[in-house]
Amino acid sequence: MTATIDAAPIETADRPSFLHSARFRMLAIVVIGIGVMSAARLIADNPDITSSGTFGAGLRTAAPIALAGLAGLVAERSGTVNIGIEGMMVMGTIFAGWWGWEFGPWMALVGGIVGGMLAALLMSLATTTFGVNHIVAGVAINLIAPGIARFMASELFVGVQGGSVTSSPGNSGSIGAFTVPFLSGGDLFGWQSPDILGKLEDTGWFMIADISGLAKGLTTAVTWDVVLTIALFFGISYLLWHMRLGLRLRFAGERPSAADSLGVSVHKMRWIGMAISGGLAGMGGAVLVLFSNRYLENQVSGRGFLGLATMIFGNWMPAGTAIGAGLFGFAQGITLRTGPGDLVRTLLLAAAIALILLVVWMLVQRNYAPAGTVTVFAVVALWSYFAAQSPNNQLVFVTPYVVTLIAVSIGAQRLRPPAEEGIPWFKGMQ
């Protein structure tokens, strides 16, 4: 009689306390990060670095990166290394631009999901069914998708008012936004409620003003596609760790032979994982389209790879991926603000402070070799702050990628990827 995987593993009696849990570590990182940003704000005398406007822009730019990271997480948890996220996002943008123009913004999201899933299923056919190397298949998707998008644009948008081979006509309608009443001054049945967070932000108090700016940025004029993105993090987390399907998906990436011996179809799980991954990546492309109000050629611009970096930074966990996306999105969001050069300078100061604190922690833990590497990063960040009195555009726009490189380099010390990701599997393999 064949056994099946029906439920999550039984909790052990020696479950770590909250103070030793991953959740506490994540909370500590967030609190320390806000403290570092607050100190940098006061030293550089630049209140806009932690203003609600800056955090709001960071949230908007973080959303597609977060969806790309979540796409990579689901795929790799089920055993497939999804290097093709960039191409899936491209397919999401062209379908979202098409359906958004024809049917409205909500259908743009649906179109993005469909476009991403089509690319993901093509990659799953190559990797899961035929055993093609995952990196090769992903690169192929990334190369094919822009060509397909350009062909579709030439057939759909050329000759249409407002359309061309590089862009779609504007979306027919707006997806809408939401501001939380009382906290951020949102309307309540036509009545303008108080803006408590805004008043606290204006005080300029250490950490209090910065936390208020963060909270107000996350609760003011938040578009519904971003709200849905946040909800998906909770949904995917629940799926992977609290549902039978999620356990089977993770088993397919960790121990496929053991899963097969218990009656689980490894190929089916990897197909499902890639379908979910492609849908999330395509939705990330749709979020970009809704932000621009149209499809634009090359609007993905490496966000799929940034998403993979957030997944690695987050150690293949939803909460860590969300924090990584917030960090990288914030670094991109400041490029959209007035005076981004000054914001980049302040961000360099914050990075230097954070790296110095990290060096101290590593020395206490007697991790001398990594501490030396981080010290180099800290010196470079501090020197850049003092040297770049007026950062040029090149430094401003390269900042998100530098932040990504540093964060992933430091985070690489504690990574634990799924055991069997990227390894082709066929029935009978051990």
Does the residue 396 lie in any domain? yes
Whole-number pLDDT of residue 135:
95
CB-CB contact of 69 with 323 (8 Å): no
The structural domain count of the chain equals: 1
For the chain (430 residues), the mean pLDDT of every run of 10, in chain order, is 47 55 76 93 94 95 97 96 97 97 96 98 95 95 97 95 94 90 87 92 95 95 96 96 94 90 92 97 97 95 92 90 90 84 88 91 88 89 82 69 72 74 72
Cα separation, 133 vs 139, whole angstroms: 10
Domain contains 121? yes
> Which pTM value belongs to this model?
0.91
Residues 47/41, Cβ–Cβ less than 8 Å: yes
Nearest to 314 by CA among 80, 66, 89: 66
- Residue 15 in domain: no
Which DSSP symbol is given to 160? S
Let me know if residue 10 belongs to a domain: no
φ, ψ of residue 187 in degrees (nearest 5): -70, 145
Q: Which pLDDT belongs to residue 12?
A: 42
The per-type count for the chain, helices as H runs and strands as E runs, is 16, 4
In a domain, 60, yes or no: yes
Specify the CATH number for the domain of residue 135: 1.10.3470
Q: Say if 192 falls within a structural domain.
A: no
CA distance 55 to 222: 11
Domain extent at residue 149: 39-179+221-414
- What is the rounded distance in angstroms from the CA atom of residue 140 to the CA atom of residue 151? 17
Q: What is the pLDDT of residue 413?
A: 59
Domain-embedded: residue 28: no
Residue 3 counted as domain residue: no
